[in-house]
Amino acid sequence: MKKIGFIGLGIMGRPMSKNLIKAGYQLVVLDRNQTVVDELASLGAEVATTPKDIALKSDVVITMLPNSPQVREVVLGENGIIEAEKQGLAVIDMSSIAPLVSREICEKLAEKGMYLLDAPVSGGEPKAIDGTLSVMVGGNKEIFDENYDIMKTMAGSVVHVGDIGAGNIAKLANQIIVAINIAAMSEALVLATKAGVSPELVYQAIRGGLAGSTVLDAKAPLVLDRKFDPGFRINLHIKDLANVLETSHEVGVPLPLTSSVMEMMQALKADGYEFEDHSSLVKYYEKLANVEVKR
């Protein structure tokens, strides 16, 4: 089995790396949070000191980081992966970043004989824990095929969607749909509550029809129970929508609904909810209607 380097052991990276260890892969890990590094080390992972070090010790390196600047720093910065100059090394970036940054990093790695797959994920912490994430991948198809089994260890589905950058385009499309679905659900449940109808019964009544969705089933129960612990934080969705809007402007696509939801999330951030789950979008509507959705 290939030896895997894993950089970024946060909400998503921590359970993903654990699933790789459970599957029998030997891991080398790196993160700024020493507590999580120690936890992975206790499960058998080796600890690296720099991204260059992790690249030299691994056959494949997975990155799971907050945004484009962090990925660029880890791959291209001082003591970065690129400095290992390891011919044939595959870097699988499972972060959600701007597609143009993925293309830039890919080109620079290629100059050193290394490869990049942009492979962002969807599903949040629960699916990271149970290994059923959806992974959308851009990049060289041969490198994708060689590393499919590694990605499938962490996922329910792994789909190659095109050349480098295509994975992050697919993820941006995913984040548009998720954000607008949560906003629509919030509008509906706030309307039901304000009109004196049980939002829980409305949810049960509509979930089997055309309005039903994975988003509805994942988020409505959390809202009804007032559980806003982050599966996917508001501030991270803001980051993704910023990448969506930047990309849409570059290619000339107006996104009026996405822009509206972005401003709702910015309002929630201003109210101090940026570290809550994105289902906290309901609080934006609750504030407008002076009502609270609950069982």
Same domain, 55 and 39: yes
Q: What pTM did the predictor assign?
A: 0.88
Same domain, 215 and 269: yes
Same domain, 159 and 181: no
pLDDT of residue 49: 95
Same domain, 153 and 271: no
Angle at 35 between CA 230 and CA 91, to 5 degrees: 75
User: Which of 164, 191, 209 is the C-terminal boundary of a domain?
Assistant: 164
pLDDT of residue 281: 98
Same domain, 275 and 183: yes
**Gap between the Cα atoms of 116 and 106, Å rounded:** 5
pLDDT of residue 171: 94
Sorted by sequence, the CB contacts under 8 Å of residue 145 that are 6+ apart come out as: none
Instruction: Judge whether 211 lies within some domain.
Output: yes
Calculate mean pLDDT across residues 13-39: 97
In which band, very low, low, confident or very high, does the pLDDT at 239 lie, cut at 50, 70 and 90? very high
pLDDT digits 0-9 by tens, 134-164? 999 999 999 999 999 999 999 999 999 999 9
Find the CATH number of the domain harbouring 82: 3.40.50.720
Task: Decide: 88 and 114 in contact? Cβ < 8 Å.
Answer: yes
Same domain, 176 and 142: no
Residue 30 pLDDT greater than 90, yes or no: yes
Same domain, 147 and 264: no
Instruction: Judge whether 294 lies within some domain.
Output: no
Calculate mean pLDDT across residues 99-118: 96
pLDDT of residue 1: 87
Residue 124 pLDDT greater than 90, yes or no: no
pLDDT of residue 200: 98
In which band, very low, low, confident or very high, does the pLDDT at 110 lie, cut at 50, 70 and 90? very high
Same domain, 152 and 224: no
Calculate mean pLDDT across residues 183-210: 98
Same domain, 84 and 201: no
pLDDT of residue 230: 87
Same domain, 102 and 177: no
In which band, very low, low, confident or very high, does the pLDDT at 68 lie, cut at 50, 70 and 90? very high
pLDDT of residue 107: 97
Calculate mean pLDDT across residues 49-78: 97
Place of tokens 């002076």: 290
Reply yes or no on whether 269 is catalytic. Answer: no
Same domain, 143 and 229: no
Range of the domain at 7: 3-164
Instruction: Judge whether 40 lies within some domain.
Output: yes
Find the CATH number of the domain harbouring 272: 1.10.1040.10
Nearest to 16 by CA among 82, 93, 81: 93
Calculate mean pLDDT across residues 35-53: 97
Burial of 95 (0-12, 13-18, 19+ CB in 10 A): buried
> Which one is catalytic: 52, 86, 127, 171?
171
In which band, very low, low, confident or very high, does the pLDDT at 232 lie, cut at 50, 70 and 90? confident
User: Which of 133, 164, 195 is the C-terminal boundary of a domain?
Assistant: 164
**Gap between the Cα atoms of 183 and 167, Å rounded:** 25
Strand 121-122 with 115-118, pairing = unpaired
Calculate mean pLDDT across residues 226-231: 92
Instruction: Judge whether 212 lies within some domain.
Output: yes
Lookup: tokens for 111: 């100059």
User: Which of 141, 164, 187 is the C-terminal boundary of a domain?
Assistant: 164
Counting other chains too, the contacts that 110-115 makes at CB distance below 8 Å and 24 or more residues apart are 112/82, 112/85, 112/86, 112/87, 113/85, 113/86, 113/87, 113/88, 114/81, 114/82, 114/85, 114/86, 114/87, 114/88, 114/89, 114/90, 115/88, 115/89, 115/90, 115/91, 115/139, 115/140, 115/143
Instruction: Judge whether 255 lies within some domain.
Output: yes
**Gap between the Cα atoms of 228 and 278, Å rounded:** 8
pLDDT of residue 79: 97
In which band, very low, low, confident or very high, does the pLDDT at 92 lie, cut at 50, 70 and 90? very high
In which band, very low, low, confident or very high, does the pLDDT at 211 lie, cut at 50, 70 and 90? very high
The rounded percent of the chain whose pLDDT value lies above 70 is 100
Q: How many domains does the chain have?
A: 2
Same domain, 126 and 195: no
Average pLDDT, the chain: 96
